[in-house]
Amino acid sequence: MFIYIKKTAKIFKLQLKFIINLINNKLPIRIRFLQKGRGMEYERYHYQIQYVNFDIKKDDKVLDIGSGGHPFPLATHLADFYEGETTHRTEKLIKDDRPFISCTVESTPFTDKEFDFVYCSHVLEHLDDPAKACEELMRIGKRGYIETPAKSSDIMFNFTKIPNHHRWHTQILGQTLIFIEWKDSERRNLGTDYFYEQFHSNWKNPFQELMDNNRDLFVSMLLWEEKFDYIIINKNGEIIQTNKK
- Residues 6 or more apart whose Cβ sits within 8 Å of residue 81: 66, 102, 103, 104, 105
Give the neighbor-by-neighbor strand order of the sheet with 239-242.
168-173, 176-181, 229-233, 239-242
User: Residue type for 74, please?
Assistant: L
Tens of pLDDT along 215-239?
A: 999 999 999 999 999 999 999 999 9
pLDDT for the residue numbered 35: 81
pLDDT for the residue numbered 20: 56
Q: What is the DSSP string of 5-41?
A: HHHHHHHHHHHHHHHHHHHHHTSSS-PPTT-B---S-
Which region among 24-33, 51-60, 108-117 has the lowest average model confidence (pLDDT)? 24-33
- The domains of the chain are located at 1-30, 35-242
Q: Are 74 and 43 in contact (CB under 8 A)?
A: no
Q: Which uninterrupted H or E stretch holds 82?
A: none
- SS3 call for 219: strand
pLDDT for the residue numbered 5: 56
- Rounded mean pLDDT, 7-12: 65
For 2, 135, 161, the CA distances from 227, given in Å and listed in that order, are: 76, 9, 34
CATH hierarchy code of domain 35-242: 3.40.50
32 pLDDT more than 70: no
- Rounded mean pLDDT, 180-202: 95
Measure the CA–CA gap between 212 and 200, rounded to whole angstroms: 11
pLDDT for the residue numbered 208: 93
Which region among 51-65, 87-101, 150-164, 231-245 has the lowest average model confidence (pLDDT)? 87-101
What phi, psi does 91 have (nearest 5°)?
-80, 165
| Confidence band for 88, pLDDT divided at 50, 70 and 90 | low
User: Residue type for 65, please?
Assistant: I
Indicate the pTM of the whole model: 0.84
For 99, 114, 180, the CA distances from 48, given in Å and listed in that order, are: 24, 24, 23
Q: Are 27 and 198 in contact (CB under 8 A)?
A: no
33 pLDDT more than 80: no
Q: Are 207 and 198 in contact (CB under 8 A)?
A: yes
- Rounded mean pLDDT, 118-125: 97
| Confidence band for 42, pLDDT divided at 50, 70 and 90 | confident
User: Residue type for 63, please?
Assistant: L
How many CA atoms lie within 13 Å of 62's alpha carbon, on the beta-carbon side? Answer: 19
Tens of pLDDT along 172-190?
A: 999 999 999 999 999 999 9
How much of the chain is in helix, strand and coil states, percent to nearest 5? 30, 25, 45
Nearest CA to 77 out of 61, 66, 55, 92 is that of: 61
Q: Are 159 and 131 in contact (CB under 8 A)?
A: no
pLDDT for the residue numbered 17: 63
What rounded mean pLDDT belongs to the chain? 89
Tens of pLDDT along 155-177?
A: 999 999 999 899 999 999 999 99
Most confident of 16-20, 29-33, 59-63: 59-63
62 pLDDT more than 90: yes
